[in-house]
A = this chain, B = another copy of it.
Amino acid sequence: MTYREFIKTAKISKEKLYREIYRANRDKIQVKKEATVVRNLGRIFDAALKISNEKGFQAMSMRDFSQETGLSLGALYTYFASKDELLEMILRQGRELVMRVLKTHLAAIRDPAARLETAIRLHLYLTEALQPWFYFSFMEAKSMNPVAKEKTIASELATDQLLAGILEEGQRMGVFKPRDTTLAAGVIKALLQDWYVKRWKFARRGIEVDRYADFVLAYVMSFHKANDGEAESK
């Protein structure tokens, strides 16, 4: 799988996404014309992620936000009841999309090495496609209310456990060497996170997501794969 192929198959259509959000939040959104909601939700999410990723969600004033979206303060408050509710809408939207894509793509694969490769590529491609959201979720975790924070932490630990599970299975089957799976899963997670947290660094150096994915895979496999081919860890 390459990034291009991923994008084609995953079909992360923004419009479909906003339509779903609208339907899930009919009660909270006062505006009733679906076409209007979909258009404005797009502006709202884009602006919130843009400004927040520059200076932080809570440093983003509603006046900044109003200007960036092109909507007045009054109009904005017909889409959410408070800044905190906006935060939760953004977080939930991303979380659910990520869960869905990960589950769909991993379900069919049984071979541990292939599962590990798919999990790593998938995560990198997903964060590439949704970089602003992942960065946002990562950076804003500490200013979240307890419930939102809990969910973000749970999602972090779930990724670790998914990876650790694949490693354990591989060790049982003898395709991976015996290694501490908890620490090893943490290492992989750190490398995956680096891709969206340090995007500016990779961009500056002209490194594309496929090249990074190949490198991380070689690195990880050289540590785990039972010796049937040093040649592969290029």
Contacts and interface: CB of A to CB of B under 8 A. Distances in A.
Interface residues of A, number: 38
A123 to B, nearest CB: 14
A54 B187 contact: no
Contacts of A59: 58, 143
Main secondary structure of the interface of A (DSSP, over half): helix
A55 to B, nearest CB: 6
A16 interface: no
Interface string A74-113: 0000000000000000000000000000000000000000
B194 A186 contact: yes
Given A180-B215, A215-B180, A190 B194 contact: yes
Interface of A: 53-56, 58-59, 139, 142-143, 156-157, 160, 180, 182-184, 186-187, 189-191, 193-194, 198, 201-202, 205, 207, 211-212, 215-216, 219, 222-223, 227, 230, 233
